[in-house]
Amino acid sequence: MKIAIIGGSGKMGRWFANFLVKEGREVIITGRNQRKLLEAKQQLGNVEVATNVEAVKRADVIVVSTPIDGFEEVIKQICLYTRPEQIIIDITSIKKLPVEVMHKHIKKGVILGTHPMFGPGARDIANQNFVLTPTNKNEKALAQKVREYLETRDARVTLITPHQHDEMMSVILGLSHFIAIVSADTLVSLDKLKLMRAISGSTYKLWLTLVESVIAEDPESCASLQMNLPDGGKVKKLFQGKLETWADLVENKDRQKFVQRMKNLRNKLEKDDPDLPKAYENMYKLIAEL
């Protein structure tokens, strides 16, 4: 089985190319910048390089690993060359728009929206989360096969609709990135980073690690994600409201309400996740290692 990775010279494309070559698959990678594409080939070893159209003509499975911006252009370019027996999978971090775009343009082949919930730094597929977003009978049958393939390799797979996926990602990626970026902005404005690092305890170190890991990501991809997640504005408004509520409690020195509200939150979180006490333990271990 030959697999074409459109955008195979990029970070995630290379990750999947490397994974698939190790799995013994024949892989073709594409990319716009020829120097970057050849460098990727050199790094990966046993892969072919081609143009998008050539790759689609030669492959059985097509994985689209290009950025959200420009996704439709890529699909428009390749849609004329897909065949009925082909599988076309995208891995973009949002799902509603890319799945709609694939439905709109790809008339031959079965499409499937997927989202690997890890970055190019991941060592292996085992224990990683994958979201699959099939929308009809053919896509559900394909998703079942992909699920079996991934689960055999110890990955964790969840099937939801593209809409549910994007709703969840507004929080999982959208809000968490947003808080990290605003935190970085706050820390930099305070202009005391060196001293804070020197005298900080484990909670600050953990927080800073999180903030720095988001800030190290590609600003263009982060911007795309923030601008394309559908419920992002609603979630951030909710967050802003909560921020004001807690700031008021502190400002007004309303100790009793602060404590009660925090206790309620802890109870709700524990009720929702019975493993929370274990999660605390793991976090303490992680903090001790920092």
DSSP 3-state of 82: coil
Task: Quote the CA–CA distance of 131 and 76 in Å, as a whole number.
Answer: 24
Q: Nearest distance from residue 269's CB to ligand NAP, in Å?
A: 27
Q: Which stretches of the chain bind ligand NAP, using CB under 6 A? A: 6-7, 9-13, 30-33, 36, 52, 65-68, 70, 73-74, 91-93, 116, 119-120, 221
Q: How far is CA 22 from the centre of its chain?
A: 23
Q: Which two tokens stand for residue 116?
A: 């690997």
For residues 153 and 182, is the Cβ–Cβ distance under 8 A?
Answer: no
Minimum CB–partner distance for residue 112 and ligand NAP (Å): 14
Q: Which is nearer to ligand NAP, 66 or 86 (CB)?
A: 66
Quick one: which H or E segment has residue 159?
strand 156-159
CB of 273 to ligand NAP, least distance (A): 24
CB nearer to ligand NAP: pick between 200 and 226 = 226
**Vertex 220 angle, CA 132 and 121, to 5°:** 55
* 181 vs 249 by CB, closer to ligand NAP: 181
| Nearer CB in complex with ligand NAP: 40/187 | 40
**Least Å from the CB of residue 230 to ligand NAP:** 15
H or E element in which residue 278 lies: helix 276-289
Smallest gap from residue 89 Cβ to ligand NAP (A):
12
Q: Which is nearer to ligand NAP, 9 or 135 (CB)?
A: 9
Alpha helices in 81-125 (DSSP H): 96-105
Least CB distance from residue 78 to ligand NAP, whole Å?
9
| C-alpha triplet 175, 117, 66: angle, nearest 5° | 95
Nearer of residues 73 and 148 to ligand NAP, judged by Cβ: 73
Amino acid identity for residue 184 in this structure? A
In the complex, which residue's CB is closest to ligand NAP?
A: 10
**Exposed (0-12), middle (13-18) or buried (19+): which is 134, by Cβ within 10 Å?**
buried
SS3 177: helix
Q: Which CB atom, from 7 or from 187, has the smaller least distance to ligand NAP?
A: 7
Please, what is the minimum distance in Å from the beta carbon of residue 14 to ligand NAP?
A: 8
Q: Which residue has the tokens 């990683």?
A: 128
